[in-house]
């Protein structure tokens, strides 16, 4: 695999279930990158991850992991992949140390010393069974197990969901350390946008089985802006709606949100406004709320 080749590449992937359709999923995880994969519950995040990890097969499209396909290189891919599932799938009857020993037999690159360091760092008692561990410690154990063979691709499905802020912080910091090696990549799925905003270099937002937003995080944050101003005349609202997709208005006061901000747009809006047009960059959570339809512009509702 060349250094510039994506670690994960999905091209036109689709999968259908009764009442749910994952459609035309295209995404790439380049080396040295943390990709934040966000979306509301039931949007298709876990289905996409299971397609990437070959736990389910797509109806259409192509999946490549580390430049290989699952039908040809199943074992080779799995030995270089780390995965932390949404739900705990570790044997409740096993201790952390035993699980480390068990996995160590299968991964050629397993580093037991590193595994024990991680357990110590995460304050996870390795001699206790999984059943005896708290939810936070189970998650940390799963992360330690996924990291100990130093995977080239780490896939995390909602690892921070249901754990306290201290554990979340520890996990997020660990992800940042992993990615210091520029050849590795992290695919980080979460509905906690704050975590994605902290660590991700790229963001993909999925809603209703389709990718609604994808790109470099900094670019997204630069392009999504809220512009507030007072209209010269109520009749000019239609012109605003033509320029900006999301518009809220109350009398002549307008709050418009664009996902493609540029200085020219600002100039055009100034021509329709009385006084100054105020610009405010949006956070990822606000952007995703708008995309999820929770913040429908009043003009559209009318």
Partner 1 sequence: MIIMWGLVTKDYYLLRRQAWWVLVLLFFSYFFGFRGGAAAVLTISSGITAYLLVLSSLSIEDKNNSLSFLRLLPMPARAIVDAKFMQLVLGGLLGEVCGLVIVAFISVTGLKTITGPEVIWGIISSLAIITIVYSPTLWLFFRFGMQAARIASFITWFAFWFGIVTLWQRFTIVTLWQKLYMGSMGPFPLSLVAAGVLLALLTVACFVFFLVLARRAFVRREMR
What is the rounded CA–CA span in Å between residue 248 and residue 93? 55
User: CB-based contacts of 6: which residues, under 8 Å, 6+ apart?
Assistant: 28, 29, 30, 31, 64
Q: What is the CA radius of gyration of the chain?
A: 22
180, two tokens: 């210091």
Q: How far is the CB of 161 from partner 1 (least distance, A)?
A: 16
Q: Quick one: which of 123, 99, 121, 125 has its CA closest to 112?
A: 99
- Quick check: helix, strand or coil at residue 57? coil
Q: How far is the CB of 72 from partner 1 (least distance, A)?
A: 13
227, two tokens: 């512009």
Q: How far is the CB of 155 from partner 1 (least distance, A)?
A: 9
Q: How far is the CB of 11 from partner 1 (least distance, A)?
A: 20
Q: Quick one: which of 166, 188, 257, 261 has its CA closest to 220?
A: 261
Q: How far is the CB of 183 from partner 1 (least distance, A)?
A: 19
Of 50 and 248, the one with the shorter C-beta distance to partner 1 is: 50
Of 83 and 224, the one with the shorter C-beta distance to partner 1 is: 83
Residue positions counted in the chain = 302
Of 132 and 267, the one with the shorter C-beta distance to partner 1 is: 132
Of 29 and 277, the one with the shorter C-beta distance to partner 1 is: 29
Sites of contact with partner 1 (CB under 8 A) = 50, 53-57, 74-76, 78-79, 81, 83, 85, 87-94, 98, 102-103, 105-108
Of 81 and 257, the one with the shorter C-beta distance to partner 1 is: 81
């Amino acid at each position: 695999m060349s250094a510039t080749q994506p670690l994960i590449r999905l091209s036109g992937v689709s999968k259908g279930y009764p009442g749910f359709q994952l459609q035309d999923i295209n995404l790439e995880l380049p080396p040295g990158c943390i990709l934040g994969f966000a979306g509301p519950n039931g949007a298709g995040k876990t289905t996409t991850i299971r397609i990437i990890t070959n736990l389910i097969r797509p109806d259409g499209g192509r999946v490549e992991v580390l430049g290989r396909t699952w039908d040809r290189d199943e074992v080779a891919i799995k030995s270089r992949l780390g995965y932390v599932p949404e739900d705990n799938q570790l044997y409740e009857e096993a201790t952390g140390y035993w699980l480390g020993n068990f996995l160590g037999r299968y991964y050629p690159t397993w580093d037991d010393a590193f595994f024990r360091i991680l357990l110590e760092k995460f304050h996870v008692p390795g001699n206790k069974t999984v059943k005896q561990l708290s939810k936070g410690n189970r998650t940390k154990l799963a992360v330690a197990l996924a990291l100990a063979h130093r995977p080239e691709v780490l896939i995390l499905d909602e690892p921070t969901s249901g754990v306290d802020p201290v554990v979340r912080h520890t996990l997020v910091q660990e992800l940042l350390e992993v990615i210091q090696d520029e050849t590795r990549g992290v695919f980080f799925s979460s509905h906690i946008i704050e975590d994605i905003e902290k660590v991700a270099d790229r963001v993909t937002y999925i809603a209703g089985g389709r990718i609604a937003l994808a790109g470099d995080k900094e670019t997204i944050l630069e392009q999504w802006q809220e512009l507030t101003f007072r209209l010269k005349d109520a009749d000019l609202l239609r012109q605003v709606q033509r320029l900006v997709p999301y518009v809220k208005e109350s009398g002549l006061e307008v709050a418009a949100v664009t996902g493609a901000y540029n200085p020219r747009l600002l100039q055009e809006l100034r021509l329709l406004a009385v006084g100054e047009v105020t610009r405010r960059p949006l956070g990822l959570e606000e952007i995703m709320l708008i995309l999820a339809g929770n913040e429908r512009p009043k003009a559209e509702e009318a």
